[in-house]
Structure 1
Amino acid sequence: MDRIHRIFRPQYLILFLLFTFSCNTSKYSTLQNTRKFQEEHPKFSSKFESQVKDIYKEKELFGDFIFAVVDENGLAYSFAINREILNGKKSSLDNNSPIYIASSTKAFTGTLLKILDQKKILDINESLYHYLPQLNYNDNIDTKKITVRNLLNHTHGTFSTSMTWKTAFLGYNGQNEELINDLNTDFLFDPSGKFRYSNVGSIIAGMVVENVTGETWKSKMKDYIFKPLKMTNTSTQVSHYNFKAIRPSLTVSKERGIIEKGFYKEDITMHAAGGIISTINDLSKWLSANIREDNILLNKSSWTELHTPTTSQDKEYFTYNRTGYSLGWDIAEYQKQKILTRFGNLAGISFHMSFMPEKKIGIIAFSNDNRAYIFPHLMANYAYNLINALPTDSIFNSEKPNFDKSFEHENEMSYPKDSQLLTESSLNHKILGTYQNTANWPSISIDRKDNYYIFKWGILNGKIYKKKEGSYFSNLGVLIRDFKIKNDTLLTGSLIYKKVEH
């Protein structure tokens, strides 16, 4: 008994009770919010879930669909479905399942840079020359005229194929110096100052964070966003998760079902333009903070800059007429309502995040059947229209043909067949080996596995299929890559590789 009293000192007991009360209050708050939403929209769940199930059955979908409605108090409604759930079987899919949010990361990166700006750690109106002088584009671009703001709103005008491919798909040595060298030696430039969407600006902004603070974009994202919002299951590192638990990309065809299944990211390819894995529960905290615009992350004027256009654009995506871009959000209109959207895609993964600031309501949606990449957007619209008491079914019927068309296009695509597989032979053995590129692209290796061959390019790999003599292709999950080999030279696109002698 004396030992127990020594352990549970009064001050520790008070802290323990406060912690327990806080946890219970948090859980109760979510439960209270979902009940409130149900009371205010009593027909929502039945109509919404019935529509999702109908589409799932009609299209014979594979993979996962997970959905959430978020308001200023947090998670208000969620729903998950896949073939297991539809058939009454147990599934690991729920609100704590890790999902990749792809380019929705850009909204987080813009927020991080605005936080650092508000804290006067950096100034988003200061130049790239000031914060990253080693990036000089071989003195062909005046980086004094490119600001951090330009990086975040896609008006910087620069692009680099090698840097983009390395960070998104292939990997690199992990050092900013390699990427800066790519930008300095392999770049395109549009001096017009017009909106040109790409990953480049956000990734360079991440380098600015590291140059200014001495810590990586990944570290600062955790310090200034994930921790304050208590997003405990969110990370910029694939290695922080059980890899098998991350919901994968699915490549599917009408003819053959699932062609490829996998998650094609590693820590090295998780970057400031597309490098966050999270959960519905955590993302509802993020989206709710944006809806509330409270002071957990930023003050009111900073939120205003994050949620209003800093440049113009004129683009249509599905039903959204995009007229502007802030520091990380597309500004659009849907059914005469202002809507901020940030979507993301990788192979079969399609991620939707949006909110209507005046209605104080937002949507998170995820699917991973490549044929159904519009599905999250279609159902987000259906939910908004239900909530806003619009003629939901007639609007849905006018929008669904667009989904049907895109679905059929993907469904009819042809993919490599086993009959095309390059199989083991003494002649084919000649292509085995490692190939290197003089322009510092990741090496390519060709290895034998069982009775076939594997093409490995950076962190990606896939089986090799034969087109004709000396001409091949490989399905790398996120892309299909053609290549040719003649003697000791491998050509893929415009890249030239030479076999390395061991």
Structure 2
Amino acid sequence: MNSLQKMLIVLPVIIVSSVAPSVTLSATPSETATPVLASKPFTSENLERVFNAKLIEQFSPGLSVAVVADGNIILSKGFGKTQIGGLLAVTPDTPFYIASSTKAFTAHISSDIARSKPHSMTPPIMTTPVQKLMPTLRFHPNVNVEQVTLQSLLNHTHGISGDGPVTYRTAFTGEFQSAQDLLALLPHHLASAAGNSFEYSNLGPVLAGYILEHLTGKAWQDLVDEKVFKPLNMHNSANRLTQLDPQKIAQGHEFAGDAFVISKAKKIDKNMHAAGGTYSSANDLAAWLGVHLQQGRWQGKTIFPSELIADAWKQTASQNRTVGGMKRVGWSLGWDIAEYKGQKIYLRPGGFTGYSAHISMMPERGVGVVVLSNGGQLSGMMNQHIVDVIYASLLSEADHDARRIEAENKLQANYAKMIQAQLAEKQKRAARQQPLPLPMANYAGTFENELGTLECQIKDNQLILKMGIAEADTEVFKAEEHAFRTELLGRGQILTYVMKDGKVTGLNLGEKFFAKKL
């Protein structure tokens, strides 16, 4: 367990999933003709019955889904509202924040740029140490810089820990003035304990985005616009929040014991990054899946060279983790490669405070599924359920209707358990609210370390934390230890003040020490 994992304290979430059977992976899809499901043509009517609208509303304020098969979008549908208590309905064109699903776009533009470079370049751009591509980059002395290539950054084998200031400042706080200022903090990232084995984090794709900017002279966001969004007419997708109508965006929510509340996590242009900086819609992402399933063609036109699709499907690293019944065994440059329902599946999910996204495809079956929701962890459970029942229907699994009803009953049971668990947690947390040893004003101040500047402010006798654009409330955790609980950086953390001679000299946020600024 790394220090980031140790500092995260989260509420229990019960998730229902089926275990995928083990299968032998076949040839890379690009080596075979794109197959079609021959059993019957699929229409929206065939799939409509798998959706339980009341159950979806229970698990998420809003949800959008799209299904691709046989070279067409065969279903796209919205449920609920963009905001709890609001009037604007979610449609298949509603933009949702899709977080780490962004990594597939960064991989695509990397492949495109690498292929546009002279073929005589030795070694090729993907396997050239990045310090030769961008000589200003500096790393911690214990990082093996010869192993840090564009490919290793994209497939999470670069050997650098993701626990550090570049990750936090790009994903949460936006606390940097320029790319140069941000990358100057890279030496604070130690070598990974996993060495050059696969270790998933945001750091690699974030750095890849800046290297692409250096090589092309274009911002990463503009490269995605130019090479992905515009060719596919993805009009409801953006890597800058300011390009979208804020009134039409699905707002992120979290489930607070017995009701959804709007998430306090903020996204602005500054913390929209190459590992998780995209808003997109179900229809737009269906086109993104469709062009892969059609070997670079979509709606009768050639959009991308087939070689780029081959790059997306080629395994470049191995992994071993099972999530939602999908046994992830490999990684290409931007997609997980997994075994699921006896099939080979490519997926790139995403999650952030208030949002959950699922994007996947079975190239050898010619089908793909998009599910986007704005109810945080709870709606992530619904996402997986919808994915399961759609693929069960598309693959004509035996008794899939009966199994769907059984799964819905399990979801309802787990929903009840989750409410009980969260209400019990609320009571437990309420009991912790004991008088503090010092007057509240003593806990105010400015604290600093390599992660950034942490402002501790007192408002209405409550401690409020701010780091860049990130802001969070606190509650007493252990009064006698001057300890508070907060969710400043995406998940629950414990903040403990460090005292000397009865005065505050610093604080620990998880295992990270911040010195008080005098």
Change (3 A) 1:408 1:339: farther
2:495 aligned with 1:483: yes
Matched with 2:312 is 306
> Structure 1 CA distance, aligned partners of 2:251 and 2:84?
19
> Structure 2 CA distance, aligned partners of 1:297 and 1:127?
31
2:138 alignment partner AA: N
Matched with 2:33 is none
8 Å CA contact 1:99, 1:277 repeated in 2: yes
> Structure 1 CA distance, aligned partners of 2:96 and 2:383?
14
Matched with 1:353 is 359
| CA deviation after TM superposition for structure 1 residue 48, in Å | 1.5
Change (3 A) 1:164 1:477: closer
8 Å CA contact 1:423, 1:451 repeated in 2: no
Change (3 A) 1:333 1:401: farther
8 Å CA contact 2:142, 2:190 repeated in 1: no
For residues 297-354 of structure 1, the C-alpha deviation after alignment (integer angstroms, 9 at most, x for no partner) is: 5322331121121222222111112221111111112222221111011123111001
Query: Which ranges in structure 2 are unaligned for 5 or more consecutive residues?
Result: 1-38, 119-123
Change (3 A) 1:232 1:367: closer
Change (3 A) 1:102 1:299: same
Matched with 1:181 is 184
Matched with 1:102 is 99
Q: How does 1:206-355 map to 2 (within 5 A)?
A: 206-254=209-257, 256-294=258-296, 296-355=302-361
Change (3 A) 1:251 1:158: same
Change (3 A) 1:284 1:259: closer
When normalised by structure 1's length, the TM-score is 0.81
| CA deviation after TM superposition for structure 1 residue 355, in Å | 0.8
Matched with 2:388 is 381
> Structure 2 CA distance, aligned partners of 1:184 and 1:206?
18
> Structure 2 CA distance, aligned partners of 1:306 and 1:283?
15
Matched with 2:110 is 113
What is the DSSP-based 3-state SS (H/G/I as helix, E as strand, rest coil) of the residue aligned with 1:48?
A: coil
> Structure 2 CA distance, aligned partners of 1:355 and 1:267?
29
For residues 141-171 of structure 1, the C-alpha deviation after alignment (integer angstroms, 9 at most, x for no partner) is: 3322332111111111211422212221122
1:494 pairs with one of 497, 511, 515 = 511
Change (3 A) 1:45 1:110: same
2:448 aligned with 1:442: no
Q: How does 1:83-94 map to 2 (within 5 A)?
A: 91-94=88-91
2:350 alignment partner AA: G
**Identity of paired residues, percent?**
24
> Structure 2 CA distance, aligned partners of 1:403 and 1:355?
24
> Structure 1 CA distance, aligned partners of 2:140 and 2:270?
26
> Structure 1 CA distance, aligned partners of 2:139 and 2:82?
52
> Structure 2 CA distance, aligned partners of 1:210 and 1:404?
47
What is the DSSP-based 3-state SS (H/G/I as helix, E as strand, rest coil) of the residue aligned with 1:65?
A: strand
What is the DSSP-based 3-state SS (H/G/I as helix, E as strand, rest coil) of the residue aligned with 1:129?
A: helix
Change (3 A) 1:390 1:150: same
> Structure 2 CA distance, aligned partners of 1:472 and 1:242?
37
2:143 aligned with 1:127: no
Change (3 A) 1:349 1:131: same
> Structure 2 CA distance, aligned partners of 1:219 and 1:310?
27
1:146 pairs with one of 139, 145, 148 = 148
Indicate the structure (1 or 2) with the bigger Cα radius of gyration. Answer: 1
8 Å CA contact 1:65, 1:80 repeated in 2: yes
Matched with 2:401 is 393
Change (3 A) 1:72 1:208: farther
| CA deviation after TM superposition for structure 1 residue 418, in Å | 7.7
2:65 aligned with 1:55: no
| CA deviation after TM superposition for structure 1 residue 455, in Å | 1.6
8 Å CA contact 1:115, 1:298 repeated in 2: no
> Structure 2 CA distance, aligned partners of 1:423 and 1:231?
54
> Structure 1 CA distance, aligned partners of 2:89 and 2:356?
19
8 Å CA contact 1:102, 1:276 repeated in 2: yes
8 Å CA contact 2:62, 2:83 repeated in 1: no
1:47 alignment partner AA: R
> Structure 1 CA distance, aligned partners of 2:46 and 2:408?
19
When normalised by structure 2's length, the TM-score is 0.79
8 Å CA contact 1:448, 1:454 repeated in 2: yes
1:447 alignment partner AA: Q
2:168 pairs with one of 165, 168, 181 = 165
Change (3 A) 1:158 1:407: farther
1:80 alignment partner AA: G
Moved more, 219-228 or 175-184: 175-184
8 Å CA contact 1:74, 1:288 repeated in 2: yes
Q: How does 1:401-440 map to 2 (within 5 A)?
A: 410-411=418-419, 412-413=421-422, 414-415=425-426, 427-433=439-445, 435-437=446-448, 439-440=449-450
Moved more, 220-229 or 424-433: 424-433
What is the DSSP-based 3-state SS (H/G/I as helix, E as strand, rest coil) of the residue aligned with 1:159?
A: coil
Matched with 1:3 is none
2:133 alignment partner AA: Y
What is the DSSP-based 3-state SS (H/G/I as helix, E as strand, rest coil) of the residue aligned with 1:243?
A: coil
8 Å CA contact 1:135, 1:184 repeated in 2: no
> Structure 2 CA distance, aligned partners of 1:191 and 1:91?
46
Moved more, 166-175 or 361-370: 166-175
> Structure 1 CA distance, aligned partners of 2:222 and 2:243?
13
> Structure 2 CA distance, aligned partners of 1:41 and 1:138?
54
For residues 407-433 of structure 1, the C-alpha deviation after alignment (integer angstroms, 9 at most, x for no partner) is: 567542335878977999993223334
| CA deviation after TM superposition for structure 1 residue 459, in Å | 1.5
Moved more, 424-433 or 138-147: 424-433
8 Å CA contact 2:66, 2:369 repeated in 1: yes
8 Å CA contact 1:422, 1:465 repeated in 2: no
> Structure 1 CA distance, aligned partners of 2:135 and 2:409?
50
> Structure 1 CA distance, aligned partners of 2:374 and 2:219?
30
CA RMSD of aligned residues (A): 3.3
8 Å CA contact 1:260, 1:477 repeated in 2: no
8 Å CA contact 2:241, 2:268 repeated in 1: yes
| CA deviation after TM superposition for structure 1 residue 115, in Å | 0.8
| CA deviation after TM superposition for structure 1 residue 374, in Å | 2.5
8 Å CA contact 2:84, 2:261 repeated in 1: no
> How many residues in Structure 1 have an aligned counterpart in Structure 2?
457
| CA deviation after TM superposition for structure 1 residue 463, in Å | 2.1
| CA deviation after TM superposition for structure 1 residue 74, in Å | 4.2
Change (3 A) 1:232 1:452: same
Matched with 2:10 is none
